Structure 1
């Protein structure tokens, strides 16, 4: 997606095409994470075996923070489709700014659900996609690395709801303006929900999980990601939080002009 061309960015079909690509990234990141156990120690704040001097948080918190600091210097978070987990810690890029055209409302960066995404990932998604429940000290670093990839891909997909919301607002300003002024959350939710599209997503995910989730050269057919769990993650986590992002973005849409 070319963020230098606002008209193409706010095209709903282009947005849906981008979301389809993100499905593949998320699935393969889940598959990579599935090679390891849950490793709960990685997520425990100040765990004795993983405590980091002068840092108040978990091993994953530390790894994610430093990964984002490095990525921020490479200009990652100047891109409108990237939302940092530690927005107050990112650094100035060492590369010249690109200065993308303003596509979303100026408050868009404040619509940040990463804390919620991270909590649900650790507590609900990790148990579903891990090889087994337990620790494996020799793989703490690998687990944290794979977790970061999973979190970043989930965050990008969920926060893409801001582009969906802006596209829908632009397509019917009168309707959304009325609902925003009335603070009609239920009305907004009803209008951003497309049950047919959601059903297609879940059917597509089922097919992809069936194909990608097993190594065809493995005679035992060990499955890394099951259709049931992938659909559950999207249906109960990814799609609902995306809608929360859309609703929060739209409720503030009359504050400023994009």
Structure 2
């Protein structure tokens, strides 16, 4: 099968739909990170901290809910990516141009950074908790963990939102993706932090000035996202349907 990756053109940056989509990614990622990092800060402040099973569960639930809502809110504008790994995973399947992908990723990083600095201000200077590897977990283990978790996330995005032959009703996909994110945090949160999202890791790291192990949260998620996109798009997705118009495309 011929590659579907589209490079795009810098003229996209002047198109109204692209401008709206990029601004939407800033807003959506800001709201996602504000709730996600805020839940981790709240769990750390309350009795027991976020290292307990209750703390981990509360963080997982918060991420599951906000991911589901933000994807739903942005699906018709930008696709509701809120994650560079999602953007890159969709780019390798030809669902977004590489040029627009760069704009999306910059927007996601901006949204994440703004959310974390605002959280730091609103909480009286509390440090934003950063993703780091747990004791006894090496860099290779952390990268592999993030690859698997992000692969799971992107595979779910393709299977429940992108694939026109999906078996789930329209509108249910974002909720299912949110549930996968929550489940992955419960599975990997105590080991790698279960980032699955470079922007989600970058915002707190910049606000806290702590980039320990930070590269893991770029390499792992981006590899996992690309692998899931390539495998689903070129192996599982069957394009025997009538192509959707630009306005109808879910991504």
Q: TM-score, normalised by structure 1?
A: 0.32
Rg larger for: 1
